[in-house]
Protein backbone atom coordinates (compact mmCIF):
# COMPACT_ATOMS: atom_id res chain seq x y z
CA UNK A 1 0.00 0.00 0.00
CA UNK A 2 2.70 2.49 1.00
CA UNK A 3 4.98 2.43 -2.02
CA UNK A 4 7.31 4.89 -3.67
CA UNK A 5 5.25 4.68 -6.87
CA UNK A 6 2.09 5.65 -4.99
CA UNK A 7 3.89 8.64 -3.43
CA UNK A 8 5.01 9.78 -6.89
CA UNK A 9 1.41 9.51 -8.16
CA UNK A 10 0.22 11.71 -5.30
CA UNK A 11 2.80 14.32 -6.24
CA UNK A 12 1.82 14.27 -9.91
CA UNK A 13 -1.83 14.94 -9.06
CA UNK A 14 -1.08 17.78 -6.64
CA UNK A 15 -1.61 21.23 -8.23
CA UNK A 16 0.99 22.81 -5.89
CA UNK A 17 3.77 20.42 -6.95
CA UNK A 18 4.87 22.75 -9.75
CA UNK A 19 6.17 25.32 -7.23
CA UNK A 20 9.05 22.96 -6.40
CA UNK A 21 10.84 23.90 -9.62
CA UNK A 22 10.92 27.54 -8.50
CA UNK A 23 13.46 26.60 -5.82
CA UNK A 24 17.10 25.63 -5.79
CA UNK A 25 17.56 22.20 -4.26
CA UNK A 26 20.18 19.47 -4.38
CA UNK A 27 18.73 16.46 -6.21
CA UNK A 28 20.78 14.18 -3.95
CA UNK A 29 19.48 15.79 -0.76
CA UNK A 30 16.09 15.79 0.97
CA UNK A 31 15.74 19.09 2.80
CA UNK A 32 13.37 18.87 5.76
CA UNK A 33 14.55 21.90 7.74
CA UNK A 34 12.35 24.57 6.17
CA UNK A 35 10.92 25.42 9.59
CA UNK A 36 14.39 26.74 10.49
CA UNK A 37 15.50 28.17 7.14
CA UNK A 38 13.57 27.94 3.90
CA UNK A 39 15.28 27.29 0.56
CA UNK A 40 16.27 29.94 -1.97
CA UNK A 41 13.88 30.47 -4.86
CA UNK A 42 14.90 31.71 -8.29
CA UNK A 43 12.60 34.69 -7.92
CA UNK A 44 14.15 35.68 -4.60
CA UNK A 45 17.62 35.49 -6.12
CA UNK A 46 16.50 37.66 -9.04
CA UNK A 47 15.03 40.27 -6.65
CA UNK A 48 18.31 40.56 -4.75
CA UNK A 49 20.10 41.26 -8.01
CA UNK A 50 17.37 43.70 -9.05
CA UNK A 51 17.69 45.80 -5.90
CA UNK A 52 21.46 45.52 -5.97
CA UNK A 53 21.30 46.87 -9.49
CA UNK A 54 19.04 49.73 -8.39
CA UNK A 55 21.82 50.80 -6.01
CA UNK A 56 24.33 50.44 -8.85
CA UNK A 57 22.15 52.38 -11.30
CA UNK A 58 20.55 55.08 -9.17
CA UNK A 59 22.78 55.56 -6.13
CA UNK A 60 20.93 57.75 -3.62
CA UNK A 61 18.02 58.15 -6.03
CA UNK A 62 17.19 54.47 -5.46
CA UNK A 63 15.14 55.64 -2.49
CA UNK A 64 12.50 56.97 -4.86
CA UNK A 65 13.39 55.41 -8.26
CA UNK A 66 13.21 51.98 -9.88
CA UNK A 67 10.54 49.28 -9.73
CA UNK A 68 10.74 49.03 -5.94
CA UNK A 69 11.72 52.38 -4.40
CA UNK A 70 13.46 51.69 -1.09
CA UNK A 71 11.66 54.46 0.79
CA UNK A 72 8.35 52.59 0.48
CA UNK A 73 9.67 49.01 0.45
CA UNK A 74 8.74 48.11 4.04
CA UNK A 75 5.15 49.19 3.52
CA UNK A 76 4.99 47.46 0.11
CA UNK A 77 6.10 44.18 1.66
CA UNK A 78 3.74 44.70 4.58
CA UNK A 79 0.79 44.88 2.20
CA UNK A 80 1.95 41.64 0.56
CA UNK A 81 2.29 39.99 3.99
CA UNK A 82 -1.18 41.02 5.20
CA UNK A 83 -3.10 38.12 3.55
CA UNK A 84 -0.84 35.60 5.31
CA UNK A 85 -1.86 36.86 8.74
CA UNK A 86 -5.44 37.91 8.01
CA UNK A 87 -4.83 41.63 8.45
CA UNK A 88 -5.67 44.88 6.71
CA UNK A 89 -2.92 46.22 4.46
CA UNK A 90 -2.08 49.13 6.75
CA UNK A 91 -1.77 46.86 9.82
CA UNK A 92 1.43 45.07 8.70
CA UNK A 93 4.93 46.31 8.01
CA UNK A 94 8.12 44.41 7.20
CA UNK A 95 10.86 45.73 9.46
CA UNK A 96 13.41 44.84 12.10
CA UNK A 97 13.88 41.31 13.40
CA UNK A 98 11.80 39.05 15.60
CA UNK A 99 13.37 40.16 18.86
CA UNK A 100 13.72 43.84 17.95
CA UNK A 101 10.05 43.90 16.99
CA UNK A 102 9.10 42.17 20.25
CA UNK A 103 11.03 44.82 22.18
CA UNK A 104 9.17 47.52 20.25
CA UNK A 105 5.76 46.01 20.89
CA UNK A 106 6.30 45.28 24.58
CA UNK A 107 7.69 48.79 25.08
CA UNK A 108 4.47 50.07 23.49
CA UNK A 109 1.83 47.81 25.05
CA UNK A 110 3.24 47.00 28.49
CA UNK A 111 1.72 49.61 30.81
CA UNK A 112 2.12 48.44 34.42
CA UNK A 113 -0.09 50.14 36.96
CA UNK A 114 -0.70 49.44 40.62
CA UNK A 115 -0.65 45.69 41.22
CA UNK A 116 -1.18 45.03 37.48
CA UNK A 117 2.51 44.64 36.63
CA UNK A 118 3.11 41.13 35.32
CA UNK A 119 3.74 39.78 31.84
CA UNK A 120 2.25 36.36 31.08
CA UNK A 121 4.22 34.01 28.82
CA UNK A 122 4.90 30.27 28.86
CA UNK A 123 7.77 27.95 29.70
CA UNK A 124 7.99 26.37 26.23
CA UNK A 125 8.40 29.48 24.08
CA UNK A 126 11.62 30.25 22.20
CA UNK A 127 14.29 31.57 24.63
CA UNK A 128 14.86 34.83 22.74
CA UNK A 129 11.29 35.93 23.54
CA UNK A 130 11.90 35.30 27.23
CA UNK A 131 15.17 37.24 27.15
CA UNK A 132 13.35 40.22 25.63
CA UNK A 133 10.53 40.08 28.18
CA UNK A 134 13.01 39.85 31.05
CA UNK A 135 14.90 42.82 29.62
CA UNK A 136 11.73 44.93 29.31
CA UNK A 137 10.73 44.15 32.89
CA UNK A 138 14.16 45.10 34.19
CA UNK A 139 14.03 48.42 32.31
CA UNK A 140 10.76 49.16 34.12
CA UNK A 141 12.38 48.33 37.46
CA UNK A 142 10.70 44.94 37.96
CA UNK A 143 12.24 41.61 38.94
CA UNK A 144 11.56 39.05 36.14
CA UNK A 145 11.59 36.19 38.64
CA UNK A 146 8.47 37.75 40.19
CA UNK A 147 6.84 39.71 37.37
CA UNK A 148 7.27 37.27 34.47
CA UNK A 149 4.66 34.52 34.79
CA UNK A 150 5.38 31.45 32.66
CA UNK A 151 2.54 28.99 32.22
CA UNK A 152 3.74 25.47 33.01
CA UNK A 153 3.48 22.51 30.66
CA UNK A 154 2.16 19.24 32.03
CA UNK A 155 4.15 17.08 29.59
CA UNK A 156 7.09 19.29 28.59
CA UNK A 157 5.77 19.40 25.02
CA UNK A 158 2.40 21.13 24.90
CA UNK A 159 0.32 23.78 26.64
CA UNK A 160 -3.27 23.64 27.85
CA UNK A 161 -5.18 26.75 26.76
CA UNK A 162 -7.47 26.38 29.77
CA UNK A 163 -4.47 26.66 32.09
CA UNK A 164 -3.20 29.69 30.19
CA UNK A 165 -6.56 31.40 30.63
CA UNK A 166 -6.57 30.55 34.35
CA UNK A 167 -3.30 32.52 34.68
CA UNK A 168 -4.90 35.66 33.19
CA UNK A 169 -5.56 37.33 36.53
CA UNK A 170 -5.78 40.94 37.74
CA UNK A 171 -1.98 41.15 38.11
CA UNK A 172 -1.31 40.54 34.39
CA UNK A 173 -0.67 43.67 32.33
CA UNK A 174 0.37 41.99 29.06
CA UNK A 175 0.30 38.54 27.42
CA UNK A 176 2.85 37.31 24.85
CA UNK A 177 2.50 33.76 23.51
CA UNK A 178 3.66 31.71 20.51
CA UNK A 179 1.15 30.81 17.82
CA UNK A 180 2.95 27.48 17.27
CA UNK A 181 5.34 25.92 19.79
CA UNK A 182 8.74 25.69 18.16
CA UNK A 183 9.55 22.21 19.50
CA UNK A 184 6.35 20.16 19.44
CA UNK A 185 4.60 22.14 16.71
CA UNK A 186 1.43 22.59 18.77
CA UNK A 187 -0.91 25.27 17.38
CA UNK A 188 -2.47 27.40 20.11
CA UNK A 189 -6.06 28.61 19.78
CA UNK A 190 -5.25 32.28 19.21
CA UNK A 191 -8.89 33.28 18.82
CA UNK A 192 -9.98 31.77 22.14
CA UNK A 193 -6.95 33.14 23.97
CA UNK A 194 -7.56 36.63 22.56
CA UNK A 195 -11.21 36.59 23.58
CA UNK A 196 -10.28 35.47 27.09
CA UNK A 197 -7.57 38.15 27.42
CA UNK A 198 -9.87 40.93 26.26
CA UNK A 199 -12.66 39.82 28.60
CA UNK A 200 -10.15 40.59 31.35
CA UNK A 201 -8.94 43.83 29.79
CA UNK A 202 -5.46 42.49 28.98
CA UNK A 203 -3.69 43.23 25.65
CA UNK A 204 -2.34 40.10 23.94
CA UNK A 205 0.21 39.47 21.20
CA UNK A 206 1.63 36.43 19.42
CA UNK A 207 4.98 35.27 18.05
CA UNK A 208 4.13 33.91 14.58
CA UNK A 209 7.61 32.65 13.65
CA UNK A 210 6.44 29.04 13.23
CA UNK A 211 3.06 29.81 11.68
CA UNK A 212 3.64 32.64 9.17
CA UNK A 213 3.53 31.09 5.71
CA UNK A 214 2.49 27.72 7.15
CA UNK A 215 -1.10 28.20 8.29
CA UNK A 216 -3.86 30.81 7.92
CA UNK A 217 -4.51 33.49 10.54
CA UNK A 218 -7.33 35.99 11.06
CA UNK A 219 -5.58 38.47 13.35
CA UNK A 220 -7.85 41.40 12.57
CA UNK A 221 -11.05 39.39 12.88
CA UNK A 222 -9.88 37.83 16.16
CA UNK A 223 -8.94 41.25 17.51
CA UNK A 224 -5.34 40.30 18.33
CA UNK A 225 -3.56 43.43 19.58
CA UNK A 226 -0.16 42.78 18.01
CA UNK A 227 2.04 40.09 16.47
CA UNK A 228 5.61 39.72 15.25
CA UNK A 229 7.59 37.17 13.23
CA UNK A 230 10.64 36.27 11.18
CA UNK A 231 10.49 35.66 7.43
CA UNK A 232 13.25 33.10 6.92
CA UNK A 233 11.34 29.90 7.70
CA UNK A 234 8.22 29.06 5.68
CA UNK A 235 8.29 32.48 3.97
CA UNK A 236 11.72 31.66 2.46
CA UNK A 237 13.15 35.16 2.85
CA UNK A 238 16.73 33.98 3.44
CA UNK A 239 19.10 33.99 6.42
CA UNK A 240 18.77 37.18 8.43
CA UNK A 241 15.73 38.20 6.42
CA UNK A 242 13.87 41.26 7.68
CA UNK A 243 11.05 40.42 10.13
CA UNK A 244 7.49 41.66 10.27
CA UNK A 245 5.00 43.04 12.74
CA UNK A 246 1.27 43.60 12.98
CA UNK A 247 -0.64 46.12 15.07
CA UNK A 248 -4.42 46.13 15.12
CA UNK A 249 -5.86 49.32 13.63
CA UNK A 250 -7.69 50.11 16.87
CA UNK A 251 -4.29 51.00 18.32
CA UNK A 252 -3.24 53.41 15.57
CA UNK A 253 -2.23 56.71 17.09
CA UNK A 254 -0.39 55.13 20.04
CA UNK A 255 3.09 56.53 20.50
CA UNK A 256 5.54 53.71 19.78
CA UNK A 257 7.56 52.60 22.78
CA UNK A 258 10.78 52.77 20.78
CA UNK A 259 10.92 55.74 18.43
CA UNK A 260 12.99 56.08 15.29
CA UNK A 261 12.95 58.21 12.20
CA UNK A 262 11.51 55.55 9.90
CA UNK A 263 8.36 55.56 11.99
CA UNK A 264 7.70 59.08 10.72
CA UNK A 265 4.90 60.21 8.48
CA UNK A 266 6.53 59.87 5.04
CA UNK A 267 5.61 63.43 4.10
CA UNK A 268 7.33 64.81 7.21
CA UNK A 269 10.29 62.48 7.60
CA UNK A 270 12.80 64.68 5.84
CA UNK A 271 11.68 67.86 7.59
CA UNK A 272 14.22 66.77 10.23
CA UNK A 273 12.19 68.21 13.09
CA UNK A 274 13.08 67.08 16.61
CA UNK A 275 9.40 66.70 17.48
CA UNK A 276 8.31 63.54 15.64
CA UNK A 277 5.20 63.20 13.53
CA UNK A 278 4.53 59.47 13.45
CA UNK A 279 2.82 57.62 10.62
CA UNK A 280 -0.88 57.16 11.19
CA UNK A 281 -0.74 53.39 10.67
CA UNK A 282 1.54 50.47 11.52
CA UNK A 283 4.42 52.27 9.83
CA UNK A 284 4.87 54.21 13.08
CA UNK A 285 6.45 51.12 14.65
CA UNK A 286 9.47 51.12 12.36
CA UNK A 287 12.68 52.28 14.01
CA UNK A 288 15.59 52.49 11.61
CA UNK A 289 16.36 52.54 7.91
CA UNK A 290 15.11 49.39 6.14
CA UNK A 291 17.62 46.68 5.28
CA UNK A 292 16.94 46.84 1.56
CA UNK A 293 19.10 43.95 0.34
CA UNK A 294 17.89 41.63 3.12
CA UNK A 295 14.28 42.51 2.34
CA UNK A 296 14.68 41.98 -1.43
CA UNK A 297 14.02 38.20 -1.46
CA UNK A 298 10.60 38.78 0.10
CA UNK A 299 9.31 40.49 -3.03
CA UNK A 300 9.19 37.13 -4.80
CA UNK A 301 8.67 34.93 -1.75
CA UNK A 302 5.50 36.71 -0.66
CA UNK A 303 4.18 36.81 -4.21
CA UNK A 304 4.66 33.04 -4.49
CA UNK A 305 2.90 32.34 -1.19
CA UNK A 306 -0.05 34.51 -2.17
CA UNK A 307 -0.19 32.90 -5.59
CA UNK A 308 -0.33 29.43 -4.05
CA UNK A 309 -2.81 30.59 -1.41
CA UNK A 310 -2.20 30.10 2.29
CA UNK A 311 -5.32 27.94 2.67
CA UNK A 312 -4.13 25.58 -0.08
CA UNK A 313 -0.65 25.45 1.42
CA UNK A 314 -2.10 24.55 4.80
CA UNK A 315 -4.21 21.80 3.28
CA UNK A 316 -1.18 20.31 1.51
CA UNK A 317 0.94 20.63 4.65
CA UNK A 318 -1.65 18.70 6.67
CA UNK A 319 -1.80 15.97 4.04
CA UNK A 320 1.99 15.71 4.03
CA UNK A 321 2.38 15.52 7.79
CA UNK A 322 -0.50 13.03 8.01
CA UNK A 323 1.18 10.83 5.37
CA UNK A 324 4.49 11.17 7.24
CA UNK A 325 2.92 10.06 10.53
CA UNK A 326 1.13 7.15 8.88
CA UNK A 327 4.42 5.86 7.44
CA UNK A 328 6.23 6.34 10.75
CA UNK A 329 3.51 4.44 12.61
CA UNK A 330 3.73 1.66 10.04
CA UNK A 331 7.52 1.40 9.80
CA UNK A 332 9.32 2.94 12.78
CA UNK A 333 7.50 2.64 16.11
CA UNK A 334 9.19 -0.68 16.90
CA UNK A 335 12.54 1.16 17.00
CA UNK A 336 11.53 3.41 19.89
CA UNK A 337 10.83 6.52 17.79
CA UNK A 338 7.90 8.42 19.25
CA UNK A 339 5.71 10.98 17.46
CA UNK A 340 5.44 13.73 20.10
CA UNK A 341 3.72 16.47 18.09
CA UNK A 342 -0.07 16.84 18.34
CA UNK A 343 -1.83 14.60 15.82
CA UNK A 344 -5.08 16.52 15.43
CA UNK A 345 -5.27 18.87 12.46
CA UNK A 346 -6.38 21.88 14.51
CA UNK A 347 -3.46 21.49 16.91
CA UNK A 348 -0.71 20.38 14.49
CA UNK A 349 1.64 22.89 12.89
CA UNK A 350 3.84 22.41 9.85
CA UNK A 351 6.46 20.06 11.30
CA UNK A 352 6.69 16.71 13.03
CA UNK A 353 8.50 16.24 16.32
CA UNK A 354 10.00 12.80 16.88
CA UNK A 355 11.71 11.75 20.07
CA UNK A 356 14.40 9.14 20.67
CA UNK A 357 17.21 8.93 23.26
CA UNK A 358 19.73 8.79 20.38
CA UNK A 359 18.32 11.80 18.52
CA UNK A 360 21.72 13.51 18.22
CA UNK A 361 23.35 10.52 16.52
CA UNK A 362 20.28 9.72 14.42
CA UNK A 363 20.32 13.25 13.01
CA UNK A 364 23.99 12.84 12.10
CA UNK A 365 23.21 9.54 10.39
CA UNK A 366 20.35 11.13 8.44
CA UNK A 367 22.61 13.93 7.24
CA UNK A 368 25.19 11.38 6.11
CA UNK A 369 22.42 9.84 3.99
CA UNK A 370 21.57 13.21 2.44
CA UNK A 371 18.50 13.98 4.56
CA UNK A 372 18.51 17.30 6.44
CA UNK A 373 16.52 17.19 9.71
CA UNK A 374 16.60 19.57 12.65
CA UNK A 375 17.90 18.50 16.05
CA UNK A 376 16.22 19.79 19.21
CA UNK A 377 18.39 18.52 22.09
CA UNK A 378 18.35 16.37 24.02
CA UNK A 379 16.00 13.91 22.28
CA UNK A 380 14.00 15.78 19.62
CA UNK A 381 14.07 15.51 15.83
CA UNK A 382 12.03 18.01 13.83
CA UNK A 383 11.03 17.09 10.28
CA UNK A 384 9.30 19.79 8.24
CA UNK A 385 7.88 18.93 4.80
CA UNK A 386 7.48 22.41 3.30
CA UNK A 387 4.43 22.37 1.00
CA UNK A 388 6.02 24.66 -1.59
CA UNK A 389 8.99 22.44 -2.37
CA UNK A 390 8.99 19.09 -0.57
CA UNK A 391 7.25 16.03 -2.01
CA UNK A 392 5.41 12.94 -0.85
CA UNK A 393 8.10 10.87 -2.56
CA UNK A 394 10.72 12.53 -0.35
CA UNK A 395 8.67 11.70 2.73
CA UNK A 396 8.53 8.04 1.68
CA UNK A 397 12.28 7.99 1.04
CA UNK A 398 13.00 9.62 4.40
CA UNK A 399 11.04 7.01 6.32
CA UNK A 400 12.75 4.17 4.46
CA UNK A 401 16.16 5.68 5.11
CA UNK A 402 15.36 6.19 8.77
CA UNK A 403 14.19 2.57 8.99
CA UNK A 404 17.48 1.40 7.51
CA UNK A 405 19.45 3.54 9.99
CA UNK A 406 17.53 2.08 12.90
CA UNK A 407 17.70 -1.52 11.66
CA UNK A 408 21.44 -1.37 11.05
CA UNK A 409 22.09 0.90 14.06
CA UNK A 410 24.39 2.90 11.82
CA UNK A 411 23.87 5.93 14.08
CA UNK A 412 26.11 4.25 16.65
CA UNK A 413 29.22 5.22 14.67
CA UNK A 414 28.63 8.92 15.45
CA UNK A 415 29.47 10.89 18.60
CA UNK A 416 26.67 12.01 20.88
CA UNK A 417 27.76 15.66 21.05
CA UNK A 418 25.76 18.13 18.97
CA UNK A 419 27.29 20.74 16.65
CA UNK A 420 27.56 24.45 17.43
CA UNK A 421 24.40 25.03 15.38
CA UNK A 422 21.70 22.39 15.73
Distance of alpha carbon 291 from alpha carbon 311, whole angstroms: 30
Distance of alpha carbon 55 from alpha carbon 61, whole angstroms: 8
Answer whether 176's CB lies under 8 Å from 119's CB.
yes
Ligand-binding annotation for 259, yes or no, is no
Ligand-binding annotation for 49, yes or no, is no
Answer whether 84's CB lies under 8 Å from 305's CB.
yes
Ligand-binding annotation for 225, yes or no, is no
Ligand-binding annotation for 55, yes or no, is no
Distance of alpha carbon 154 from alpha carbon 152, whole angstroms: 7
> CA of 374: how far to CAs of 20, 217, 382, 402, in Å?
21, 25, 5, 14
| Polymer length in residues for the chain | 422
Ligand-binding annotation for 99, yes or no, is yes
Distance of alpha carbon 73 from alpha carbon 156, whole angstroms: 41
Ligand-binding annotation for 144, yes or no, is no
If we measure between CA atoms, which residue out of 416, 353, 313 comes closest to residue 17? Answer: 313
Ligand-binding annotation for 126, yes or no, is yes
Ligand-binding annotation for 270, yes or no, is no
Ligand-binding annotation for 182, yes or no, is no
279 contacts: CB under 8 Å, gap ≥ 6? 263, 264, 265, 266, 286
If we measure between CA atoms, which residue out of 384, 302, 315 comes closest to residue 350? Answer: 384
Binding residues for pyridoxal 5'-phosphate are 98-99, 126-129, 207, 210, 232, 261, 289
Binding residues are 98-99, 126-129, 207, 210, 232, 261, 289
Amino acid sequence: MYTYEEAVRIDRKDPLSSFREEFYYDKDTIYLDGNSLGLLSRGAEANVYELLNSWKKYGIDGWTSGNHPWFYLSEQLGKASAPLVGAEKDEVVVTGSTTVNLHQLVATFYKPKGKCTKILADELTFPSDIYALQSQLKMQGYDPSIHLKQVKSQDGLTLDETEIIMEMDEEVALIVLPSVLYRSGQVLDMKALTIAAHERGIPIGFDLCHSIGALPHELSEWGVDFAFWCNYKYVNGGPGSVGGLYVNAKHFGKTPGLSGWFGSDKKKQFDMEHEPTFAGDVGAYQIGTPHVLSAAPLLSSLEMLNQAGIQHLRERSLRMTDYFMTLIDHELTSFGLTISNPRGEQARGGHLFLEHPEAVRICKALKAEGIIPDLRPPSGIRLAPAPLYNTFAEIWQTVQTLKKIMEEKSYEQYERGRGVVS
